[in-house]
Chains A and B, each alone.
Chain A
Amino acid sequence: MKILLVEDEKLLSDSIRSALVQEGFSVDTALSFREARDKLVDKIYDVVVLDLNLPGGLGFDLFGYIRDMESHPGVLIISVRDSLDDKLRGLNLGADDYLVKPFHLDELTARIRSIIRRRYPTDADELVFYNLSYDMTSGQVKVNGTEMHLTHSQSQILYYLLINKNRTVSKESLSDYVLKDDIDMVDSFDYIYTHIKNLRQKLRKEGSEVSIVTVYGMGYSLKKMDGN
C-alpha cells in the first residue's frame, strides 16, 4: 500500500513516516504544496495523508489533483483546525476521515487501515478474526454467528483491538481511542481495565476462540487462545 504523506513539518513528517513504515506501508513524503502536487500528478497512491496548512497553498486545493488520479486514493486529513466548519469542508470535498492534531500514531494507522479497508473491501464490511466478527456498518459483534451485547465503550475497545489484532495496543492509546476527550473524567486505566475484564468474561461465555491478552508493561493484544 502506497501512502503519500503531505505534511510541512519535517520533524512530524519523519515520525509519522517511520511509524507507517514500521506498520508495513510504503511512504512518500511531500513537504510543500508544490511537491505534493507534483507527486500526485506523477505517481499513484492508495491513501493521501493531508495536512491543511501548507507552504504555498491550502490542503483543500489539492483535492482537484486527487480527484484526477486514476487510483482514486482515500484521503485522511490531519490538521490543527478542529472547528466543525473545517471538518465538514474537508469531508464534503471528498476526504474519508479527519484527524485533529495532535493524534496518537496508533490512531492514525488505525484510521488509515480503515480507509484502505473501505477502498478494498474484503469480506463485505466485516472484520473477522477466527470466530469473532465485527460488522463495521452496524457495529454488531458476533461470536460464531451469535450476537454479543456490548456497551458502546466495550464495542469500541474490541474494534480497536481487532484492527490492531496480534499487535500490542498500549493502554494509553486504547483509553485515548475509547474515551477521547473524556479521558480525564475518570481514572482511564481503571476504566479500560474494568471494561476489558467484562469483555473477557463475555468473550469466554460466548465461546470465542480469541482472547484479550495483557502484555505486561505494554498494554493489551487480541490473540488466538493458546491450548484449546
Chain B
Amino acid sequence: MATNQYNKRFITKIRKEYAIVLPVMLVLIILFNNLAIDFYYKVIYWNRFRSAAAEVADYAREHHSFPNHPEVTVKKLAPGTKSYTYYGYNFREIPDPAHEPGVFSRLFLRDHLHNRRVKEYVTTVALPEGLFEIRVAKIELNEPGGPEREAVLFAVACSLVLFLLLNWGFFQFNLRRVSYNLWRPFYKNLRRVNSYHIRSAKPLQLVETNIREFELFNHAILDFTNKTQAAYNQLREFTENTAHELQTPLSILLAKVELILKKNDLDAANRKELLEIKKTIVRLSGIQKGLNLLSRIRSIQYGGNVEKKTMLITGVIHDSVETYEELIEYKGITLETLEDDPEPVATNEELVRILVDNLLRNAVQHNHTDGKIRIAVQPRGFEIANTGAVPESPGDNLFARYHTRSQDNGRLGLGLAIVEAICDTLDFSCQYYYRDNLHCIRISWER
C-alpha cells in the first residue's frame, strides 16, 4: 500500500536522524553533567560554607566569643589587614580518626599519611573586638551521605531533566514535520482547488500524493470538477450556437414583415400591427446580440489569453462620449467630466471599450430628460454616475435588482451582465451605490 511505503520511507529517515541526534544528545548530557557537578560545588556547597561562616559571625556578635566546633577555626588578625574571602581545596594534617573517633570517623581518603584533602572556606569578619578570620573546613568524605553523593544525585537529576526536555523538543519537532509532510499535498491541492475556475479552459490539475486517503479525495474532486466543467462547456457551446442559430429565423421574420409592409394595399391598422411585430423582432434580435456578446466575452475569459496593452482610460471615455453626444444633447442631459490624474492600465482595449460603452449607454438610456451624468476618472479606476428613477429599495445590489425589472426591454439586465462579465475577465472590481439622487457605478482595477 502506498501509505505504508510513504510511512516507511519517512520513518526510516527519522530513524537515521535519531542515530545522529542521540549520540549528540549524550555528549551534551555528559558535558552538562560535568557542568552540574561543578555548579553544585561552586554554588550550592559554597553556599553552605558561607552560611556556616555567617552563623559563626552571628554567634560571635551575640556571645562575644566563638563557638567551639572542630570544623571552624578562628584567628585574630592584625589591625589594618584588608578583608578577604576564598574558597577551595587544601591539604592539611588532620588528626587520625582512630585517635579521635567522635569527630571524624571512618575516614578513608588519604593523600599522605596524615594529610587529608579538605574543602575550606575562609572569610574575614569585622567584630567590635577587631578583625577575625573564620575558616570553615570540611574533610572530603567519600562515603554515603557525603557531598559527593549529593553532587552526583544533583547532576543526574539535572541531566535527566535536560534529557527529557531535549527528547520532548525533538519529538515535537518531528511531530510537526510529520504532520506538515502529511498535509503538504493536501494544502497544495486545496490552493489549486481554490484558484480553479470553471470558466478556465484547462481542467483542474491536482498534485499526486502517496497518501491513499488524499488520493481518493483528489479523484473524487477531479471527477466532480471534470463533470461540472464538461456540463458547463456543453451549456456554453449550446448558448453560443443557439444565439447564432436564432438570428437566421429572426432574419426571415424581419424580411417577411418588411416585404408585407412594402405592399401598398395595407390599411393603417394592419400596418400598425405589422410595425409592432417588426419592433418586437428587432428587440428580440437586440437581446440575442447582447447574449452573443456575453458568450463571446465568456469565451475570451474561457480561452484565458486576454490580450493586454497599456492604455489610458480617458481616450476610451472620450470616444464613448462622442458616440452618445447627440443623444445626450437630445435628452438635455448635463455631462460633467472630472479627471484626477489617471494612470495607464494594462488591459484589453476591445473589452474596455464595450464596458465603457455599456455603462455610458445605461447612464443615457435610464436617465430622465434634463438629467445629469457625471464621469469621474480616478488614478486607478473610474465612476459613472447618473440621475434616473429612484430605486424602490435602498439596496446597493444593482445587479440583482435590475434583473427582475420588467419595463426595460431586458437590455439593462443584459448590459449589466456584460459589464459584470468584462469585469470578471479583466479582474476589475465593480461597485454600485445610490447616493445624492445619483446611480453610481465604480469600476476600479485595484482589487
Interface residues, chain A, with chain B CB atoms under 8 Å away: 9, 11-12, 15-16, 18-19, 22, 80-84, 100-106, 151-153, 170, 172-173, 176, 181-186, 191, 194, 217
Once the chains bind, are A82 and B258 in contact (CB under 8 Å)?
no
| Chain B residues within 8 Å of A153, by CB | 326
Given A15-B255, A101-B247, A106-B258, verify A184-B286 contact (CB < 8 Å): yes
B330 within 8 A of A: yes
Query: Of A84, A152, A183, which is within 8 A of B350 by CB?
Result: A84
Once the chains bind, are A102 and B254 in contact (CB under 8 Å)?
yes
Once the chains bind, are A19 and B296 in contact (CB under 8 Å)?
no
Q: List 19 extra interface pairs beyond A11-B256, A100-B289, A102-B253, CB under 8 A.
A: A15-B256, A19-B258, A81-B244, A82-B289, A102-B281, A102-B282, A103-B254, A105-B259, A152-B326, A170-B261, A172-B279, A172-B282, A176-B282, A181-B289, A185-B364, A185-B365, A186-B331, A191-B327, A217-B268
B252 within 8 A of A: yes
Can you give 21 A-B contacts (C-beta < 8 A)?
Answer: A9-B252, A12-B252, A12-B255, A15-B252, A15-B258, A80-B247, A80-B251, A102-B254, A102-B285, A103-B254, A173-B258, A181-B289, A182-B327, A183-B282, A183-B286, A184-B283, A184-B286, A185-B361, A185-B364, A185-B365, A186-B330
Once the chains bind, are B248 and A9 in contact (CB under 8 Å)?
yes
Given A102-B247, A152-B326, A184-B283, verify A18-B361 contact (CB < 8 Å): no
What is the number of residues of chain B that contact chain A, defined by CB distance less than 8 Å?
A: 40
Interface positions, chain B 248-303, Cβ under 8 Å from A, are 248, 250-256, 258-259, 261-262, 268, 271, 275, 278-279, 281-283, 285-286, 289, 292-293, 296
Interface positions, chain B 284-340, Cβ under 8 Å from A, are 285-286, 289, 292-293, 296, 324, 326-327, 330-331
| Chain B residues within 8 Å of A101, by CB | 247-248, 250-251
B409 within 8 A of A: yes
B411 within 8 A of A: yes
Once the chains bind, are A181 and B292 in contact (CB under 8 Å)?
no
| Chain B residues within 8 Å of A80, by CB | 244-245, 247-248, 251
| Chain A residues within 8 Å of B361, by CB | 182, 185
| Chain A residues within 8 Å of B282, by CB | 102, 172, 176, 183
Most buried by A among B248, B256, B275, B331: B248
Most buried by B among A19, A80, A181, A182: A80
Once the chains bind, are A19 and B259 in contact (CB under 8 Å)?
yes
Once the chains bind, are B255 and A105 in contact (CB under 8 Å)?
yes
Closest to A151 in B: B326
List the 5 closest A-B pairs by CB distance, nearest first: A15-B255, A102-B251, A80-B247, A101-B251, A185-B365
Closest to A106 in B: B258
Once the chains bind, are A103 and B262 in contact (CB under 8 Å)?
no
Cα separation A186 to B409 with both chains bound (whole Å): 12
Query: Of A11, A84, A172, A191, which is within 8 A of B330 by CB?
Result: A191
| Chain A residues within 8 Å of B279, by CB | 172
Closest to A12 in B: B252
CB distance from A6 to the nearest CB of B (A): 14
| Chain B residues within 8 Å of A182, by CB | 324, 327, 361
| Chain A residues within 8 Å of B285, by CB | 102
Cα separation A182 to B258 with both chains bound (whole Å): 21
Query: How many A-B contacts if CB must be within 8 Å?
Result: 91
| Chain B residues within 8 Å of A81, by CB | 244
Query: Of A12, A105, A191, which is within 8 A of B248 by CB?
Result: A12
Once the chains bind, are B252 and A186 in contact (CB under 8 Å)?
no
| Chain B residues within 8 Å of A15, by CB | 252, 255-256, 258-259
| Chain A residues within 8 Å of B275, by CB | 172
Once the chains bind, are B259 and A18 in contact (CB under 8 Å)?
yes
Cα separation A83 to B51 with both chains bound (whole Å): 100
Once the chains bind, are A184 and B255 in contact (CB under 8 Å)?
no
Closest to A108 in B: B255
| Chain A residues within 8 Å of B259, by CB | 15, 18-19, 105
CB distance from B143 to the nearest CB of A (A): 103
Once the chains bind, are A104 and B326 in contact (CB under 8 Å)?
no
Closest to B350 in A: A84
CB distance from B257 to the nearest CB of A (A): 9
Once the chains bind, are A16 and B255 in contact (CB under 8 Å)?
yes
| Chain B residues within 8 Å of A191, by CB | 327, 330
CB distance from A220 to the nearest CB of B (A): 15
Closest to B246 in A: A80
Query: Of B271, B296, B326, which is within 8 A of A83 by CB?
Result: B296
Cα separation A16 to B327 with both chains bound (whole Å): 32
Question: Digit string of B65-109 for contact with A (CB within 8 Å is 1, else 0)?
Answer: 000000000000000000000000000000000000000000000
Cα separation A219 to B279 with both chains bound (whole Å): 15
Closest to B409 in A: A184
CB distance from A99 to the nearest CB of B (A): 10
Interface positions, chain B 3-19, Cβ under 8 Å from A, are none
CB distance from A54 to the nearest CB of B (A): 12
CB distance from B267 to the nearest CB of A (A): 9
Closest to B254 in A: A102
Cα separation A102 to B254 with both chains bound (whole Å): 7
Interface positions, chain B 329-361, Cβ under 8 Å from A, are 330-331, 350, 361
Closest to A216 in B: B268
CB distance from A79 to the nearest CB of B (A): 9
Closest to A176 in B: B282
CB distance from B159 to the nearest CB of A (A): 80
